[in-house]
Amino acid sequence: MGLTHQVIKTFSREEKKRGSGLVLPVLFFLLVLLGWGCQSEVSPPRSVILISLDTLRADHLGAYGYARPTSPNLDALADTGVVFEMALAQASSTLPSHRSLFRSRVPSRTEGPEPTLAEVVSEAGLTTAAFTGGGNVSAAFGFDRGFETYVDDPRGFAESFDEIEIWIRTHAQDRFMLFLHTYDIHLPYDPPAPYRDQFGAEYRGQINGRMTLDALRRERGFKGYRDQRSEANLSDADRAKVVDLYDGGILYTDTFIERLLLLLRELSLSDETAIVVFSDHGEEFWEHGSVLHSHTLYQELIHVPLIFSFPGHWGAGERIATPVQLLDIAPTVLDLLRIPIPKTFEGRSLLGLIRGDQAEPRGIASEIRNLSSRVEYPWKLIEEQQGKTTTRELFNLETDPLEKRDVLKERRDVGERMSAGLGGKNQSGDPAFVPSVDFEGVEPSLRQQLEALGYVEEERPTSSAAGSR
Ligand SMILES: [Zn+2]
């Protein structure tokens, strides 16, 4: 771009001097060049598929360095695409994270009428459809805005994939945006055979199938969300089996990625369909003393996979270390499709980074309930509001990626500067700003789905805490 502008300027000066008859054709040629240069080098995909693998930690995938073979097909997809090594979720629970992603706004600013990605894409003429696991991404919570088809099926990909396949076959000639979402990795960590015994097959103990849900509920306890410590004291072997089952669920889910990729190949859609794979949040396995998600904003809960695949259009196997966020997905998809990005979107298109441009540094915010965090790599500040009291922790993610050592006392300067960036009435971490679900009004079948996922508890400390498991 810069070079093209330079050429135009030089040319204009020449033109004044000579008034050559060649001016118009050359100008035309340069304008064509300029127009071409303004477009990204990536030609637009015909269609886009967004895949949300709920509760998938980045560091449990081969593409993110996991030693276990949990994800052969996702890894192969990553090898053909671009891997964002440090993608951060805006929240550590399903509903606010997805709402934030589709509106490209931090959770505390998603309660308004601002357009969703699906609405913008649909308005631009693409066919839109979603097949989700329901629960906290149900149409009942407004996630169907902008989708012509929105199917909530809590049974998982094993049951819903046939319907997904029929939809893709039926719409193979359309331009479409398809959103796929599954809880197959999420609690209760109960993948079918042989995946449940893929890892830790020798284990004989209490962690087994639906029992896992009860054991982890007891393990987590309910002493408030910040300082939950283990009550049930599962043995090391039990804990290891919990992770084994979670990993088995990833491997199981990975088989559907293969099925999808084979289908796209069969329908000759592979080269014209961009695929974006991500998760809405991670999962804790005792890194900070507890389990599951939604209770903190530490990396095990907000560092998620983000893979963009568009074979033949990008450098295969590209890896980008610059921190990015889930609310960048919507503007990137629009940029890819050459659809103008609404002003209300707070994220940034990642196409520049994919092309190799330098990104301007920026802070990345996440929120859950009374917690908010900001990453200005390598620094990460976490703030907790308790009434008028604010508690802070500061970590250096470069030297301490597991957030074990709070360095706020040593680096008060950094903490204060970042805290100022975190402040403001719309991003205060006030629970009122972070959407949660009022289960009282939820219809019985949806309530059942949420219970099966471990979301509704018999005992819960406050109503605002109930919704965000
Ligand atoms: Zn989730």
How far is the centre of ligand 1, averaged over its atoms, from the C-alpha of 173 (Å)? Answer: 32
How far is the centre of ligand 1, averaged over its atoms, from the C-alpha of 151 (Å)? Answer: 17
pLDDT digits 0-9 by tens, 93-130: 999 999 999 999 999 888 889 999 999 999 999 999 99
- In angstroms, the CA 89 to CA 319 distance is 18
Cis peptide bond upstream of 154, omega within 30: no
* Predicted local distance difference test score (pLDDT) of residue 311: 80
How far is the centre of ligand 1, averaged over its atoms, from the C-alpha of 141 (Å)? Answer: 14
User: According to DSSP H, which parts of 19-115 are helical?
Assistant: 23-38, 72-80, 94-103
User: According to DSSP H, which parts of 348-468 are helical?
Assistant: 351-355, 412-422, 444-452, 463-466
Instruction: Indicate the residue among 330, 361, 392 that finishes a domain.
Output: 361
Phi, psi of 327 (to 5 degrees): -75, 0
Q: What pLDDT band is residue 209 in, cutting at 50, 70 and 90?
A: confident
Q: What pLDDT band is residue 289 in, cutting at 50, 70 and 90?
A: confident
pLDDT digits 0-9 by tens, 413-466: 999 999 887 754 334 444 444 544 555 556 778 777 777 777 654 333 333 333
How far is the centre of ligand 1, averaged over its atoms, from the C-alpha of 136 (Å)? Answer: 8
- Give the range among 217-221, 259-263, 402-406 with minimum mean pLDDT: 217-221
How far is the centre of ligand 1, averaged over its atoms, from the C-alpha of 13 (Å)? Answer: 59
> Do 174 and 273 reside in the same domain of the chain?
yes
Q: Decide: residue 108, CB within 10 A, 0-12 exposed, 13-18 middle, 19+ buried.
A: buried
pLDDT digits 0-9 by tens, 318-337: 999 999 999 999 999 999 99
More confidently predicted of 22 and 273: 273
The number of distinct structural domains making up the chain is: 3
> Do 313 and 210 reside in the same domain of the chain?
yes
Q: Which DSSP symbol is given to 148?
A: S
How far is the centre of ligand 1, averaged over its atoms, from the C-alpha of 469 (Å)? Answer: 8
In CATH, what number is assigned to the domain containing residue 397?
Answer: 3.30.1120
> Do 68 and 31 reside in the same domain of the chain?
no
**Domain span at 24:** 2-38
Scanning the structure block, which residue is given the tokens 């560092």?
303
More confidently predicted of 358 and 129: 129
> Do 128 and 248 reside in the same domain of the chain?
yes
Q: Is the pLDDT of residue 53 over 50?
A: yes
> Do 261 and 350 reside in the same domain of the chain?
yes
> Do 325 and 375 reside in the same domain of the chain?
no
- In angstroms, the CA 37 to CA 63 distance is 32
- In angstroms, the CA 457 to CA 101 distance is 26
> Do 351 and 371 reside in the same domain of the chain?
no
Share of the chain above pLDDT 90, in %: 64
Report the half-sphere exposure of 310 (CA within 13 A, side-chain side). 23
Tokens matching residue 437: 């679900």
> Do 229 and 292 reside in the same domain of the chain?
yes
* Predicted local distance difference test score (pLDDT) of residue 456: 55
How far is the centre of ligand 1, averaged over its atoms, from the C-alpha of 280 (Å)? Answer: 5
How far is the centre of ligand 1, averaged over its atoms, from the C-alpha of 94 (Å)? Answer: 3
How far is the centre of ligand 1, averaged over its atoms, from the C-alpha of 296 (Å)? Answer: 14
> Do 214 and 343 reside in the same domain of the chain?
yes
